[in-house]
Structure 1
Amino acid sequence: MLNEHGESREIQSSSPGSGRRGIGRALGLGVVAGAADDDCSAIGTYASAGAQFGTSLLWTAPVTFPMMFAVVYLSSKLGQVSGKGLFHVIKENYPNYILWPTLIAVLLGNTIEAAADLGGMAAAIGLFIPLPVPVIVIGVAAAIVALQILGSYELIRNVFRWLALVLFAYIGSALLAKPDPWEVLRGTFVPTVQFSRDFLSILVAIIGTSLSAYLYTWQSNVEVEEEIEQGRTKLSERQGASTQELRQSRNDILTGMLFSNIIMYFIMLSTAATLHKADQTNIETAAQAAEALRPIAGDAAGLLFALGIIAVGFLAVPIMTTGAAYDLCQVLGWISSLHAKPKDAPKFYAVIVAFTIIAVGLNFLGFNPMRALVYSGIVQGFSTPPLLLFILLMTNNRQIMGDKVNTLPLNILSWITVIAIFSASVGLVASWFI
C-alpha cells in the first residue's frame, strides 16, 4: 500500500491477533463465503439445471471453480491491502458517472436475490407450517434483521459457520441416487452447449449465481471487519498486508470456493439422477425440488431439502442486505460496520432494515418462488461483469495496491473470468433474437 509520500508499506503480522489466519479461519470465513455462494437462488438454479438438462451441465462446476476463486480472492485482497470496503475504493478512484450506475446495478441484484431467497425459504417452511407464505416471509425477515441489529459480529460469524454444515446433505443425496458413472464422467469432462434460450438462460443463471456480486462486497468488507476485531480500528492500521497474510487468505478462499463448488456439483447431480430421469424437468415448487433428496431420506427428503434452503437463506440473506448497506453507506460517506452499535451507526442499520423491507415487499408481487430464484441468478449474471472488471483494474493499480498488484497467472485467470461472464450475458441476449 502507498502511504502519503508515495512509498510502499507493508503491515507485517506482528500486531495483536495477527495469528488469526490459519486452519480455523479457513474453516470459518472461507466456508461461510462458500456456503453463502450456495444460497437459495443457487440451490434453485442448480436444481433446475439438473432437472431440466440432466448431467449435461455438470461441467460448469469445474469450469467455474477457478473463476469463483479468482473473483473472491481479488475482493479479499483489495479489502486487506486498502483497508477499505469495495465501494469505498471505487468511490475514491472512479467518477460518479461510473460509480452510481455500478452501485445501482449491484443494489438491484442484491435486493432481488434477497427477495427470491426469502420467498424460497418461506416456500420451504410452508411445507411444514400451515401459514400463508407472505406471513412466513415477514417472520423470517424479522428474525434475520434481529440477528443483524442485536447480534455481535462474532455471533453472526459463528452462526454462519454452523448453518453452512447443512449443505453436506446434498452430497449424500447424489451418491445414494446411484447415477450412471459414464453419464457423470461425460457430463463433467465433456462440455455441452445448446444454442437455445432455455439452455443459455440457465447457463447465465449458473454463472451469475456462482459469481454473485454480493460476495465481492461482503468479502472485501468482512476483511475490514476482521481487522477491526483485532483492534485495527484506524485506517492507517489496516492498510497494507504481508505476503504471508495474503497467502493464508488465498488458502482460506480456496477452501471455501472448493466447498461451494462441490455442493454446486452434487446439487445438479442429485436432480439429474432423480428428477430428470423421472421426466420432472420443470421445478416449480420447493416440494418438487425436495424429491432430489428422496434417495437419502425417503419420506424425510422434503424436510432435509427445506432445512437446506432455510439454513443457507438465514446465512445468505443477511450477507446480501448487509452487503448492500455497506455499498450505499460507503458511497454516501456514512459509518458502516457490524462492530458499530446501532446508536453509533444508525444510518447503516436503517439501510439494512430498508433493503430487507424492499425484499419482503417484492414477495407480494406473486412470483413463483423457485422461478424467482433462477431469475435472480440471471439478474446477477448481468450486474456482475462491470463490477468484476473494476475489481480487476483496481487490484492492478499500484496507487491502491502498492507492490501487491496481481501476478500474471492471476491476471490471466481473472481476465478469462471477465470474458466468460460477459460472453454468457451476450449469448443470452442474442438468444432472445434468434
Structure 2
Amino acid sequence: MDVRDDRRTGILKACLDRLKSHPLAKVGPGLITGVADDDPSGIATYAQAGAQYGLAMLWTMPLAFPLMAAIQSMCADLGRVTGRGLAANIKAAFPPFVLYGVVGLLLIANTLNIAADVSAMGEVAELVTGINRHAMTACFVFATLLMQVFIPYHRYVHFLKWLTLSLLAYAAVLFTVHVPWHQVALRTFWPNFTPDASSAVVIVGVFGTTISPYLFFWQAAEEIEDMENARESAPLVRDPGAAPTELRRIRWDTWRGMFYSDLAAWFIMLATAVTLHVAGVTRIDTAAQAASALRPLAGDFAYALFAAGIFGVGMIGVPVLAGSGAYALSEALDWKEGLERRVADARGFYAIIAVSVLLGLVLQYSPVSPMRALFISAVINGVVAVPLMAVVILLVSKPSVMGDFTAGWAVRALGWLGTVVMGVGAMAMLAAH
C-alpha cells in the first residue's frame, strides 16, 4: 500500500468517525418511526386537509401529538423492558384469535399501504424525470427490498436516520410563499370549521394516518434490535439497574421523534393551505398531485422540495411497513426475526418482507387503484388500531409483563384518550361510507 492509499484510508476512516459521532447517529428508533408515519400516503392525507379546509384543520396536529407519542412510548417501553416484540407479548397474554386477527389485518393493511406509497413515489419520479412511473416504481421497490435483505440493521439504520432530514423540505416550502402567521397561530389552537360528514372523514383520515398500528409493532421491534446490537444490553426485567437511563432515553427519543413527525405534518398541511386552498384547488388524491399542483402556484423550487420529501419519506415508510408486518408474523409463528440477521438465518422473516413489497408492486398493475387501496388500508387500520391500542395499554399496565416498570398513570390516561378518539373516528368514517 503506497502513501496515497494510506491517505485515502485515513480520510475514509475520518469520515466514518464523523458520521458516527454526529448527533443524528445517536438518536434511537423514535425518529425513524416518526418520519415513517409521514409516508407518501400520509402526505396525501395532510395535503388534502390543507387544500380542502385551508388553515381550519391545523388544530388536529397539536391534539394528535401527545396521543401518538404516548402510545408509541408504551410500545417502545414494552420492547425494551421485556425483550420481546408486541406480537410476542400479545401471544403470551391473550387468546390466539386476538393475535392472529390483529396480525392478519395488519399484513393486509400494510400491503395495500405499500402499494399506495410506491405508486406515489413512481408518479413523482415520472413528473421529475419523465421516465415511466411503473419502471420507476419497480426501481424503488427493488432498491428498498435489497437494502433490507442484504444490509445489516446497524448499517441500514444510519441510512434511514439521514433520510429523516427529507421532512425538512416541507418547512422549506413555506419560505417560498406568503404565510399569514397570525391566522396560522390562531387556527393551530382554535378550530373553525363546520362539522359534517366531509369534515369528519378528513379528521378521521388525519388521525388514522397519524396513529397507525404498523408503527406500534415497528417501534417495539427496533428497541429490541438496538438492545441486541449493543451486545452487553439485556431486557430491563433482567437488568433493572439500566432502567432509569434507558427509560429516560426512550421517553426523550420517542416524544422527540413524534414531535418531529407531527410538526412535519403541520408544515405539509400549512403549505397546501396557503397555496392550493387559496388558489381554489381543493381536491388532492395523491402526494404527487399535490407536488404537481404546487408548481404553477409556488414555483419550481417549492415543487422540487415537495417532490424530494416524497422520495425521502417513501424510502423510509415502505421498509417500515414491510418490516413491521414481518416482525409481527414471525413473532406470532415463533420464527427467527430481525434485520440484523442474515437471510439464511431468518428465511421466513425476509420472505414476509419480500412478499409484502412485491405484492405492493403487483397491485400497480391490477384494477385496484392506489387511492382505493389506500382507503381500504385506512379502514382496516381504523378497525385494528382501537383494540390494539387497548391491548398495548393493558400489557404495559401488567406487573406480570413489565415487572416493576409498568406505565405511569399519565401516559396510560393519554393512551386511553387516544383509544377513544380513534374509536369515535373509526365509527364516524364507517358511518360516512
TM-score, normalized by the shorter chain, greater than 0.5: yes
Could you say if the C-alpha distance between residues 167 and 429 of structure 1 is closer, same or farther in structure 2, counting changes exceeding 3 Å?
A: same
2:315 maps to amino acid? F
Q: Deviations over 1:152-207 (max 9, x none)?
A: 10221111111110111111213442222343133211124544332222211111
1:393 aligns with 2:399: no
2:431 maps to amino acid? A
CA contact (8 A) 2:41 2:286 kept: no
Could you say if the C-alpha distance between residues 415 and 393 of structure 1 is closer, same or farther in structure 2, counting changes exceeding 3 Å?
A: same
Unaligned runs of 5+ in 2: 1-19
Separation in 2, partners of 1:83, 1:296: 50
The residue number in structure 1 matching 2:35 is: 35
Classify the secondary structure of the residue corresponding to 2:386: helix
Could you say if the C-alpha distance between residues 341 and 379 of structure 1 is closer, same or farther in structure 2, counting changes exceeding 3 Å?
A: same
1:362 aligns with 2:363: yes
Separation in 1, partners of 2:302, 2:174: 12
The residue number in structure 2 matching 1:220 is: 220
Map 1:83-102 onto structure 2 (within 5 A).
Answer: 83-102=83-102
More helix by share: 2
Classify the secondary structure of the residue corresponding to 1:335: coil
Shift of 1:283: 1.4
Q: Deviations over 1:31-57 (max 9, x none)?
A: 212211111111111011100111111
The residue number in structure 2 matching 1:318 is: 319
Could you say if the C-alpha distance between residues 131 and 27 of structure 1 is closer, same or farther in structure 2, counting changes exceeding 3 Å?
A: same
Shift of 1:296: 10
CA contact (8 A) 1:270 1:292 kept: no
* TM-score normalized by the length of structure 1: 0.88
Could you say if the C-alpha distance between residues 234 and 188 of structure 1 is closer, same or farther in structure 2, counting changes exceeding 3 Å?
A: closer
Classify the secondary structure of the residue corresponding to 1:395: helix
Shift of 1:294: 5.0
Shift of 1:69: 0.6
Shift of 1:132: 3.2
1:304 maps to amino acid? L
Map 1:395-434 onto structure 2 (within 5 A).
Answer: 395-432=396-433
Separation in 1, partners of 2:426, 2:337: 32
The residue number in structure 2 matching 1:5 is: none
Identity between Structure 1 and Structure 2 (%):
34
CA contact (8 A) 2:337 2:346 kept: yes
- Greater shift, 360-369 or 110-119, is seen at 360-369
Separation in 1, partners of 2:249, 2:345: 33
Separation in 2, partners of 1:70, 1:362: 34
The residue number in structure 2 matching 1:50 is: 50
Separation in 2, partners of 1:284, 1:24: 33
The residue number in structure 1 matching 2:140 is: 140
The residue number in structure 2 matching 1:189 is: 189
Classify the secondary structure of the residue corresponding to 1:242: helix
Classify the secondary structure of the residue corresponding to 2:131: coil
The residue number in structure 2 matching 1:259 is: 260
1:339 aligns with 2:337: no
Classify the secondary structure of the residue corresponding to 2:129: coil
Separation in 2, partners of 1:285, 1:87: 32
Map 1:9-408 onto structure 2 (within 5 A).
Answer: 27-192=27-192, 194-231=194-231, 242-290=243-291, 294=295, 298-366=299-367, 369=370, 373=374, 376-408=377-409
Q: How many residues are paired up?
A: 412
1:174 maps to amino acid? L
Shift of 1:232: 5.2
Separation in 2, partners of 1:197, 1:179: 29
Could you say if the C-alpha distance between residues 212 and 236 of structure 1 is closer, same or farther in structure 2, counting changes exceeding 3 Å?
A: closer
Could you say if the C-alpha distance between residues 123 and 295 of structure 1 is closer, same or farther in structure 2, counting changes exceeding 3 Å?
A: closer
Separation in 1, partners of 2:191, 2:26: 31
Could you say if the C-alpha distance between residues 132 and 239 of structure 1 is closer, same or farther in structure 2, counting changes exceeding 3 Å?
A: farther
Classify the secondary structure of the residue corresponding to 2:54: helix
